[in-house]
Structure 1
Amino acid sequence: MKDFTRLVDLASERLGGRVLLASDEFFAPKENLLKATPPLLIEGKYTSHGKWMDGWETRRRRTPGYDWCIIRLGLPGFVRGVVVDTGHFKGNYPEQCFVEACTLEGPKQERRLLKNCATDWVELLPQSALKGDSENLFAVTNLQRFTHLRLKIYPDGGVARFRVFGQVVPDHRRLFVRRREIDLAAVESGGCVISSSDEFFGSPLNLLLPGRGKNMGDGWETRRRRGPGHDWVIIKLGSPGVILRIEVDTTHFKGNFPESCFIEGVDFKSGELDATPDTQWKEILPRTRLRANARHYFHKQLQDAGKVSHVRFHIYPDGGVSRLRIFGVPAVTPESRLVWLNSLSVARAQSALLDCCGSRAWVQQMVAARPFATVAQMVEAADRIWAGLSPNDWLQAFRRHPPIGGNKLAQKQSSKARRWSAKEQSNVQKTSPEMWPVLGAANAAYRARFGYIFIVCATGKTTEEMLALLKQRLANDPGSELRIAAEEQRKITRLRIERLLES
């Protein structure tokens, strides 16, 4: 990304970020690292340990090694870049830094981490040179969802601020719980600003922050407009959804609040949002007058725009707004589930994809191919990777299926995969009793000839149809039959990917 600093600071103390542990903090405490304010310099101020510094500063190291601190992100997500700010540290800044990250599932894993610092750390930034009294910016390319980071400094010294900019990826298991109403635009839900007309006095990202605005500087404020027109901001919702309520908060804006506002939405699929015709945007809140220093609630005034993925908030003609809340019920879509799949740790993604296809090689390559921009891209990757596997990889996938009409497997399935298998073979359960011995004998004959179970995409097929296909394929030579079975597995995998992204 050209300017990752326009994204959310995932580690900000305002969002709940916290420095949990540090190897040393003799001169200045670790908590200073995540302050939202720029670092200060107070000439002549000293403590019992030495010069007062607005940052994290360790003692001088007399042995080989490095200092480090572990940070819990306020909001988990994809890290796009980090800023190691050595502001006011001139003769005492570290020569180099290194950043790694991990994904933890709950307090128990965090306690284990703090006890021995051992976990599956993933490198985000290799050991890199730092400049003193500077904002050192480093882009990050890893697109896994992370919850914790470890900053290492070599060999010692001080860092004023540490920023972790990225895209919030909430836990979708909680986001979609019981289809409850949430603030779809909030940063904690994954909402983000796409673009705006102006942000001279205050960032539009402030509109989406948790809590009430602290002051006039803690909102979105545009410059004074001297010509025709008005200001606007486009917000991508954390999840598409149906909007039920809206709050527009002009708290602290008294002589500079907008005269009125207008809100519209669109369910955007793909392509360039800027190229979306205005005719596709649907009115949600008609142009409505606003008051100074007030919270405005809208419910009955809202128009039904259906499912919306983006909103465009217009203010007339200019001015400042503290917060914008877009309340609604998130829609579980394949696209939102794809974000979830992209965000999973390697282990959890492998477990999810193993339900779709039992080949370990296929699973590993699919996990490595993330993130997928669209469902179509994921399906294309699944087909391409499957076609490039070896016959042994195909056979491994076959072993995770029960035979037609049976339930014995060469390899175990998860409970989800068992449910999918049962659904795929649901027509077999309607088979008349006299057909079961015939089906069993045909399955045995197939296995005896080819060495593996009969693989067929059973969805929508009757027992009689599958039995006819089995008998027909018994005449094939082993090479041809293996390729046919592999094609049937490809069809099964496609259907299971659809189920994975719908469940």
Structure 2
Amino acid sequence: MAEARGVTGPAFAEALDLASERLGGAVISANDEFFAPKENLLKATKPVFLEHEYTDRGKWMDGWETRRRRTPGFDWCLVRLGLPGIVRGVIVDTAFFRGNYPEHCSIEACAARPDARVEELLDPRTHWVEILPRSALAGDSQNAFAVSCPFRFTHLRLNIYPDGGVARLRVHGDAVPDWRRLGRPGAELDLAAAENGARVLSCSDMFFGVRHNLIMPGRAANMGEGWETRRRRGPGYDWALVALAAQGEIGRIEVDTNHFKGNYPDSCMIEGIDAAGRAAEELAGAGDFQEIVPRTKLQAHTRHLFEEEIRAAGPFTHVRLNIYPDGGVSRLRIFGTVTRTGAAEQRLRWLNALTQQEAEAELRVACGAAAWAAQMAGARPFRDEEQLLATAGQIWARLGREDWLEAFRAHPRIGETKAQVEAPETSATARRFSSQEQAGASRADDETREALARLNRAYDEKFGHIYIVCATGKSAAEMLQNLRERLEHTAEEEIAIAAEEQRKITEIRLRKMLRRE
């Protein structure tokens, strides 16, 4: 099978436009927009020039344009990405800005809540990362810049020097949704939705409509918002290969030919494969796909729903939509449930993509030692769960007494609910983990609870830190007996035992973070 023909531009432009207004991207603030409004920057349409069109402020321009700067400084605007993700490259399009384009630009990025207010984003405490250093621009051109930064961002700040106009901003990259909130056991998910992290990896042709349109939100507004191939004049058929949001089992499928009336495909067939880690080039021609939906006649301008027709549910990581012989499809929906393995893989991908600060905060849920969290965040990316757990143990073994004590203080005493020291950003999850771990103690009778409290105090007085035990699966009576035995140890013996118990707790919590247990 051949790759799509007629594709031009930088390689990164093949990736999804994370700032697309169709995905919810928006320009939320600008320091100046005297001649042309900031909202034009993300318009889905190509910029146009109307030679004789003027407003009461000057020449009408299809872009964002600031006034002529008469003081030192530069102009800027804030962009909220439609989908958080890793930026692979940007296109700063100065189409039709010839004598009024900026001389240079730079771009910064940050990770914040999707609904963060402008005041929060402009607060000096917000951590911005420069992903594009100050770079020269050409007028009336698509200025393309590759970006090499592995972190997941939610907002960008486009700076122009010193002033001028930019027609469009395209931000190409890989969507990385927050998988703490996706893939809950048994919940149905659109595995082919861009907002959930699905990607259209390749296709045979996209002469009239780009392949990414297949997985965009909502129904297409017109044919231009669908995937459409040129008219096929020889044998064969067209196809599009979709990487699902995560490995999942398929329950129902929708193929929508909305707006395609004289140019819809005659029929379609859908295949699937479980092929994590295999290259897209290899998959495009792979022979081990399973038939999910057999070749089926299609209708014009219609939503086709397949449920009883599904022959193989998976699990699958990729699907291939084949259309015969050519034509246009506006949307493909693959509804199903994410497997535990698939969810864990995507949560690890999400963890790998967090900024250093975000990753440290998230990891302190598993272990309260700041040095451990910082070193773990710096050791990313982790290839798989096994490497994550091995690295966690190695870093913990290199730390010392003060780091161990800091981790101990993040735990509540056995039989209690509140830790000695709680980090506000992680305490809710940490409390949930503690509650799960101490389920045995919570079911204890009054006599056992009182004995635990009394011996906990004795332990604190003798060793100078709280009693730490990996409580998962242990009854209150077992923990009480363990506590009595450990009170007989020396301080040197006990700190080593407590550190090993913390290591076990950390490993269990890391597994829970990935598997949402």
Q: 1:210 corresponds to which residue? A: 217
Mapping 1:155-166, distance limit 5 Å: 155-166=162-173
Task: Count matched residues.
Answer: 501
Q: Secondary structure at the match of 2:117?
A: helix
| Cα deviation, residue 162, structure 1 | 0.8
Classify 1:468/1:274 alpha carbon distance in 2 versus 1 (closer, same or farther; 3 Å): farther
Classify 1:35/1:432 alpha carbon distance in 2 versus 1 (closer, same or farther; 3 Å): closer
Q: Give the % identical residues.
A: 55
The one-character-per-residue Cα deviations of 1:451-477 (angstroms, maximum 9, x if unpaired) are 334433333446676677667767877
Mapping 1:27-426, distance limit 5 Å: 27-43=35-51, 45-105=53-113, 107=115, 109-110=116-117, 112-113=119-120, 119-172=126-179, 175=182, 181-225=188-232, 228-272=235-279, 281-330=289-338, 333-342=343-352, 349-404=359-414, 409-412=419-422, 414-426=427-439
- More divergent stretch after superposition (477-486 vs 125-134): 477-486
| Cα deviation, residue 79, structure 1 | 2.3
**CA separation in 1, counterparts of 2:312 and 2:481?**
52
**CA separation in 2, counterparts of 1:118 and 1:481?**
41
| Cα deviation, residue 301, structure 1 | 1.4
The one-character-per-residue Cα deviations of 1:28-81 (angstroms, maximum 9, x if unpaired) are 222221122222334455444444432222222111100111222233333222
Classify 1:176/1:90 alpha carbon distance in 2 versus 1 (closer, same or farther; 3 Å): same
Q: Secondary structure at the match of 2:41?
A: helix
**CA separation in 1, counterparts of 2:382 and 2:246?**
17
Output the amino acid matched with 1:353.
Answer: L
**CA separation in 1, counterparts of 2:58 and 2:168?**
19
The one-character-per-residue Cα deviations of 1:251-293 (angstroms, maximum 9, x if unpaired) are 4444543332111223444454655696764322111122344
- More divergent stretch after superposition (459-468 vs 293-302): 459-468
Classify 1:55/1:111 alpha carbon distance in 2 versus 1 (closer, same or farther; 3 Å): closer
- Asked whether the equivalents of residues 143 and 371 of structure 1 are also in contact (C-alpha less than 8 Å), the reply is no
Q: 1:495 corresponds to which residue? A: 508
Q: Gapped runs of 5+ residues in structure 2?
A: 1-9
| Cα deviation, residue 112, structure 1 | 3.2
**CA separation in 1, counterparts of 2:454 and 2:476?**
14
1:22 aligns with 2:35: no
**CA separation in 1, counterparts of 2:458 and 2:432?**
27
Classify 1:375/1:140 alpha carbon distance in 2 versus 1 (closer, same or farther; 3 Å): farther
- Asked whether the equivalents of residues 243 and 317 of structure 2 are also in contact (C-alpha less than 8 Å), the reply is yes
- More divergent stretch after superposition (457-466 vs 22-31): 457-466
Q: Secondary structure at the match of 1:31?
A: helix
| Cα deviation, residue 114, structure 1 | 7.9
Q: 2:6 corresponds to which residue? A: none
Output the amino acid matched with 2:24.
Answer: G
Q: 1:455 corresponds to which residue? A: 468
| Cα deviation, residue 154, structure 1 | 0.7
- Asked whether the equivalents of residues 230 and 317 of structure 1 are also in contact (C-alpha less than 8 Å), the reply is yes
- Asked whether the equivalents of residues 184 and 328 of structure 1 are also in contact (C-alpha less than 8 Å), the reply is yes
**CA separation in 2, counterparts of 1:406 and 1:156?**
59
- Asked whether the equivalents of residues 253 and 320 of structure 1 are also in contact (C-alpha less than 8 Å), the reply is yes
Q: Secondary structure at the match of 1:380?
A: helix
Classify 1:167/1:373 alpha carbon distance in 2 versus 1 (closer, same or farther; 3 Å): farther
Q: Secondary structure at the match of 1:105?
A: coil
Output the amino acid matched with 2:510.
Answer: I
| Cα deviation, residue 113, structure 1 | 4.2
| Cα deviation, residue 226, structure 1 | 5.1
Output the amino acid matched with 2:504.
Answer: K
| Cα deviation, residue 228, structure 1 | 4.5
- More divergent stretch after superposition (469-478 vs 119-128): 469-478
Q: How large is the RMSD of aligned CA atoms in angstroms?
A: 3.6
Classify 1:114/1:368 alpha carbon distance in 2 versus 1 (closer, same or farther; 3 Å): closer
**CA separation in 2, counterparts of 1:25 and 1:247?**
43
Classify 1:24/1:458 alpha carbon distance in 2 versus 1 (closer, same or farther; 3 Å): closer
| Cα deviation, residue 405, structure 1 | 5.5
| Cα deviation, residue 204, structure 1 | 1.2
Output the amino acid matched with 1:398.
Answer: F
Output the amino acid matched with 1:199.
Answer: M
The one-character-per-residue Cα deviations of 1:221-242 (angstroms, maximum 9, x if unpaired) are 3344455443322212234443
Q: Secondary structure at the match of 1:258?
A: coil
**CA separation in 2, counterparts of 1:140 and 1:63?**
31
Q: Secondary structure at the match of 1:334?
A: helix
Q: Gapped runs of 5+ residues in structure 1?
A: none
- Asked whether the equivalents of residues 220 and 322 of structure 1 are also in contact (C-alpha less than 8 Å), the reply is yes
**CA separation in 2, counterparts of 1:259 and 1:391?**
70
Output the amino acid matched with 1:383.
Answer: G
| Cα deviation, residue 145, structure 1 | 3.4
What is the TM-score normalised by the length of structure 2? 0.83
- More divergent stretch after superposition (433-442 vs 277-286): 433-442
Classify 1:95/1:383 alpha carbon distance in 2 versus 1 (closer, same or farther; 3 Å): farther
- Asked whether the equivalents of residues 283 and 305 of structure 1 are also in contact (C-alpha less than 8 Å), the reply is no
**CA separation in 1, counterparts of 2:509 and 2:169?**
42
- Asked whether the equivalents of residues 11 and 72 of structure 1 are also in contact (C-alpha less than 8 Å), the reply is yes
**CA separation in 2, counterparts of 1:466 and 1:216?**
66
What is the TM-score normalised by the length of structure 1? 0.85
